[in-house]
Structure 1
Amino acid sequence: MSVWLFALVGAGGTIGSLVRYGAGRWVTGKGKASFYGTLIVNLAGSFAMGMLIGLGLESVHRAEYAFFGIGVLGGLTTYSTLNVQKATMWQEGKRRTLAFYIGATYLGGWILTAAGVGLGYLLST
């Protein structure tokens, strides 16, 4: 991979991370639990990645995919925060919230990725 692609991934990752942080602050500022911010960015990232795949961006436009797919969406979505929040919910005995969070994240993420792929494919044809 070229230095240029590394730079694009880094720049995109910076943007995605800042958006994720802002979303978390916005949600907690509205009096909601912090996991809602993580859920929002993970679901939005799933849909957006699906669209990039459906558009065929990875195979056709390597630089754009490096910036948006790997960088922005990689920085936006967060697996580590998801797992910390799940462990915390378990420790705090919030089983119903945990079940909702797991279902919404994994099932919702799969559905939104598939929807994004479909929409991306339709837009590319």
Structure 2
Amino acid sequence: MGLLNSLTALCLAGLGGSVGALLRYGASKRAVARRAKPHAATLTVNLAGSFFIGILAGAEWKAVRPELYALLGPGVMGGLTTYSTLNVQKATMKAEGRYRTLAKYAAATYLGGWLAFALGWIIGKAANG
């Protein structure tokens, strides 16, 4: 990938990251407005992001369409998913003594994220032939 293509991919990843962050923020605000638990929105965006980046990886978009992959993969999905918020929420649960909720949340995020990615990978591979 030449310098111009690298700069283009970098800019697209930044643009996509902004979109992903806005989507995540919107999901969090919507969850609070609907009186849902904030960690439900974080879990949802993390699982969705894992699934969709799995599709991109399985379809090998990084090699075939590097600029589009930069926009959607590390960009939108990277901005959408959030492990920093996850860790703040886990620390809050621990401080509040909600150990059972903490354990379920961590398991759902890590195991669910891996399963969502794997399912996306399978779908991406199948779509790629």
Q: Normalising by the residue count of structure 1, what TM-score does the alignment of the two structures yield?
A: 0.97
Quote the residue 2:55 is aligned against: 51
Q: After the TM superposition, which residues 4-83 of structure 1 pair with which residues of structure 2 at under 5 Å, given as runs?
A: 4-83=8-87
1:10-37 residue CA offsets vs partner (Å, 9 max, x unmatched):
1101100000001001111111111111
Listed one character per residue, the Cα deviations across residues 15-71 of structure 1 (whole Å, up to 9, x for unaligned) are 000000010011111111111111000000000010001111111111011100011
Gaps of 5+ in 1: none
Letter aligned with residue 91 of structure 2: A
Between the aligned partners of 2:34 and 2:16, the Cα distance in structure 1 is 27
Of all paired residues, the percent bearing the same amino acid is 50
Looking at structure 1, the residues matched to 110 and 14 of structure 2 have their Cα atoms a distance apart, in angstroms, of 27
Q: How many residues align?
A: 125
Unaligned 5+ residue runs, structure 2?
A: none
Alignment root-mean-square deviation, CA:
0.9
Using the size of structure 2 for normalisation, the TM-score is: 0.94
* Residue 89 (structure 1) aligns with: 93
